[in-house]
Amino acid sequence: MDVQPEAVQAAEAYEAMFVPALFAQWAPRVLDGVALSPGQRVLDVACGTGVLAREAARRVGLSGAVSGLDPAPGMLAVARRSAEVVDWREGVAESLPYADGQFDAVVSQFGLMF
């Protein structure tokens, strides 16, 4: 994947500043509402740098599976560095690159505004 350096720099700044200030505190609360358990399969739509997907991966454990989907290659480049256990893919919610029924839960923390 050919990612523009500027896109990666912007995603790194997002991860360093916005995730701790705005998003990290809400990831556990979002997932509390889903009541994930070990072994489940989870999709995080509009995952950005992966704060919600990382927490989902922690909750479902190695017996589960988490996929993160985002349209921004820079965000995914940063996400890939943070959690190798997550299957990170480029794509959009309007055209999911997954089979129907593949996931036990589909979540999104900040994607509806886009």
Span 27-54, pLDDT tens digits: 999 999 999 999 999 999 999 999 999 9
HSE (CB half, 13 Å, CA atoms) of 113? 4
pLDDT along the chain (114 residues), means of 10: 88 91 90 96 97 97 98 97 96 95 95 70
Q: Does domain 5-94+102-107 have CATH number 3.40.50.150?
A: yes
Total-model pTM: 0.91
At residue 57, what is the residue type? Answer: A
Which residue, 98, 92, 81, is CA-closest to 114?
92
* Cα dihedral across residues 113, 84, 101, 32: positive or negative: negative
Q: What is the pLDDT of residue 110?
A: 81
